[in-house]
Amino acid sequence: MATCQRRQRITSEQTHASGQSWSPSIIVGGFDAGKALYRQLYEDYEQRASLEAQLVKAADVIDLLVQVLALERGGARGLDEFWEVANEGNFELQGIAQEVVKEVLQSLLAAHAEID
């Protein structure tokens, strides 16, 4: 925290000495490039345009199913609709990525079947 305060003090002193006024817009303005990158990555994710986006979508589904499995092991019921994506999910993956995701989903389905 001391380092952060020191940086802020130096920045304020430098700004004052140069005759420039400090404004929050200086900081916020730096986020414009980040917004564009975030928007581009989000579009890629939604369209599954890259292997990375496809893997992230598959990982999201796997994470959800792991959580559902934990809830069911804890006694929760009525969560079958979540498992439909494991049977019907098309992540548009190919090759080894498809094989790995398919194997993980089959493992989760097998664990789910043991609960019922």
The answer, yes or no, to whether residue 60 has pLDDT greater than 60, is: yes
**CA–CA distance, 48 with 58 (Å, rounded to integer):** 10
Average pLDDT over every residue of 46-52? 89
CA trace torsion 59, 64, 67, 68 (10° rounding)? -140
Higher pLDDT, 68 or 19: 68
**35 falls within a domain:** no
Residue 99 inside a domain? The answer is yes
Taking only the tens place, the pLDDT of each residue in 98-116 is 999 999 999 999 999 999 6
More confident residue, 11 or 83: 83
- Per the domain annotation, does 9 fall within a domain? no
Asked if residue 65 belongs to a domain, the reply is: yes
Residue 57's pLDDT is 92
| Tokens representing residue 61 in the block | 């589904």
- Give the domain extent around 64: 48-115
Residue 9 has pLDDT above 60, yes or no: no
Residue 7 lies in a domain: no
Q: Is residue 53 in a domain?
A: yes
15-39 pLDDT tens trace: 445 555 544 544 555 567 778 888 8
Is 75 contained in some domain?
yes
